């Protein structure tokens, strides 16, 4: 499909051959604009149904010229109906879109497959980003696949271990910055304005386009229906903007006559958008020193704030805040009731739904999709930190006591007598030392 760039504020237009990230005239954000009329006579759903369930299934709606995208088979993630969780939240119709199933374990891969393909099309040799972790992990992997050099700047000491390991192993030049994400982003924006470094933060309009596919997939997975509410964790605010654009397009293309309400969720210590919306401010009310256990969304000056506020207002949604404690409880609840292990930032969507339900923002029976943005194994340290004490058993007798206590009398039959295990003790079982 034909596309060009357009400023969201002054509406100036630019051809896709220009390497720009913001409007050269007024400095505001850019959006990718398509000529949808080309698609009006095509049965899109039928076309899609013949293809693999991944991001490139929707290739007519992606802004690339190449027929050979840089791909790791991203997208096509599960939409899990969460009956047990729904019962606990007094809200039966909860689905979780599990973006941890992507190749590098987060939704960023949907954007990077498009963004890195564009980087190649535009002739770039080096890609760069600032990151709270997942963007760097994803960009490093796609740059490796494409044979491009990759530089990532991350806030020192504030990136989950798994994400850092990913960026390193995929061969990125990892630079630790003494400062937060907002500062690191300022630095890479400056660098990319001076040197030929292709910037792949979500200020890059092409990257965000790949993330619209979350909306298309949810639509197909719900049997060509749109949910009532979509709950999304918000950091730099690109994802909520992209998903909203995707749902609007489904309506524009005549595939549905409804759109969902978008509910963004921020951590209490990093909630600039929630406050900006609440106070109805025309300027972003920045948080100078954002802090939260959900390091992925530890962001005080979201670059896409304008797009995100438009998404929330147009969709008649809102932005709510949750505490770190609520986030960690929600993470454990989702993992222990549904078998889905997501990172703390992602669990913010579950905590957010719990809060929205209790505040009457979501009605019982409405179909809600929570976007779980990244995999729990990205940040194993937080789980261990939150686990007070392990049970450490020395021998078979203790194990027997433990199991009997766990099962309780109701599960035990009269024939199961204590310590009839006949096992060696752990010490007997250990390999003797050679001395």
Instruction: Note the residues at the interface with ligand AN7 (CB under 6 A).
Output: 106, 131-135, 202, 233-239, 296-297, 343, 345-346, 373-374
Closest separation between CB of residue 224 and ligand AN7, Å? 26
131 C-beta neighbours (distance < 10 Å), count: 30
Closest separation between CB of residue 15 and ligand AN7, Å? 26
The answer to whether 343 touches 296, Cβ cutoff 8 Å, is yes
Backbone angles phi, psi at 356, to 5 degrees: -60, -40
Can you tell me the distance from the alpha carbon of 149 to that of 165, in angstroms, rounded to the nearest whole number? 17
**Residue count (the chain):** 435
Closest separation between CB of residue 9 and ligand AN7, Å? 20
For ligand AN7, the closer CB: 82 or 262: 262
Closest separation between CB of residue 110 and ligand AN7, Å? 11
For ligand AN7, the closer CB: 124 or 166: 166
For ligand AN7, the closer CB: 304 or 400: 304
Q: What is the longest distance spanned by two Cα atoms in the chain?
A: 83
For ligand AN7, the closer CB: 234 or 351: 234
Question: Residue 234 region, left (φ>0) first, then alpha (ψ -120 to 50), else beta?
Answer: beta
Residue matched to tokens 């039928």: 46
Closest separation between CB of residue 138 and ligand AN7, Å? 8
Q: What is the 3-state secondary structure (H, E, C) of 262-326?
A: EEEEEEHHHCHHHHHHHCCCCCCCCCCCCCCCCHHHCCCCCCCHHHHHHHHHHCCCEEEEECHHH
Can you tell me the distance from the alpha carbon of 118 to that of 242, in angstroms, rounded to the nearest whole number? 17
For ligand AN7, the closer CB: 69 or 300: 300
For ligand AN7, the closer CB: 48 or 245: 245
The answer to whether 304 touches 237, Cβ cutoff 8 Å, is yes
Closest separation between CB of residue 18 and ligand AN7, Å? 24
Can you tell me the distance from the alpha carbon of 338 to that of 335, in angstroms, rounded to the nearest whole number? 6
């Amino acid at each position: 499909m034909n596309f060009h760039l357009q400023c969201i504020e002054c509406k100036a237009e630019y051809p896709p051959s220009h390497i720009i990230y913001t409007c050269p005239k007024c400095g505001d954000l850019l959006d990718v604009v398509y000529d949808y009329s080309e698609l009006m006579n095509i049965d899109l759903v039928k076309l899609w149904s013949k293809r693999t369930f991944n991001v490139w299934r929707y290739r007519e709606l992606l802004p690339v010229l190449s027929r050979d995208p840089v791909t790791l088979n991203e997208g096509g993630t599960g939409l899990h109906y969460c009956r047990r969780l729904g019962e606990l939240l007094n809200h039966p119709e909860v689905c979780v879109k599990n973006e941890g199933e992507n190749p590098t374990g987060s939704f960023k891969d949907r954007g990077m497959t498009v963004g890195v393909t564009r980087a190649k099309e535009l002739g770039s040799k080096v890609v760069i980003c600032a990151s709270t972790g997942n963007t760097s992990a994803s960009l490093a992997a796609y740059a490796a696949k494409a044979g491009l050099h990759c530089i990532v700047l991350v806030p020192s000491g504030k990136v989950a271990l798994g994400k850092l390991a990913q960026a390193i192993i995929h061969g990125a030049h990892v630079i630790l910055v003494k400062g937060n994400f907002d500062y690191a982003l300022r630095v890479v924006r400056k660098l990319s304005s001076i040197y030929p470094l292709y910037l792949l933060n979500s200020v890059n309009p092409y990257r965000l386009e790949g993330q619209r596919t979350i909306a298309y997939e949810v639509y197909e997975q719900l049997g060509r229906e749109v949910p009532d509410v979509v709950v999304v964790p918000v950091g730099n605010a690109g994802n909520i903007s992209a998903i909203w654009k995707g749902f609007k397009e489904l309506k524009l293309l005549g595939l549905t006559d409804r759109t969902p309400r978008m509910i963004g969720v921020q951590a209490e210590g990093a909630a600039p958008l929630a406050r900006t919306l609440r106070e109805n401010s025309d300027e972003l009310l920045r948080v100078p020193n954002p802090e939260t256990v959900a390091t992925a969304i530890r962001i005080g000056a979201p670059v896409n704030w304008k797009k995100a506020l438009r998404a929330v207002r147009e969709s008649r949604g809102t932005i709510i805040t949750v505490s770190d404690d609520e986030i960690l409880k929600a993470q454990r609840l989702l993992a222990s009731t549904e078998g889905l292990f997501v990172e703390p930032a992602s669990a913010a969507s579950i905590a957010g739904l719990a809060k929205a339900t209790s505040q009457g923002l979501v009605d019982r029976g409405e179909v809600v999709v929570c976007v779980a943005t990244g995999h729990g194994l990205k940040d194993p340290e937080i789980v261990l930190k939150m686990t007070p004490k392990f049970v450490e058993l020395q021998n078979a007798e203790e194990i027997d006591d433990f199991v009997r206590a766990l099962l309780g009398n109701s599960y035990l039959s009269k024939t199961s007598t204590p310590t009839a295990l006949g096992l060696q003790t752990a010490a007997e079982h250990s390999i003797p030392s050679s001395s």
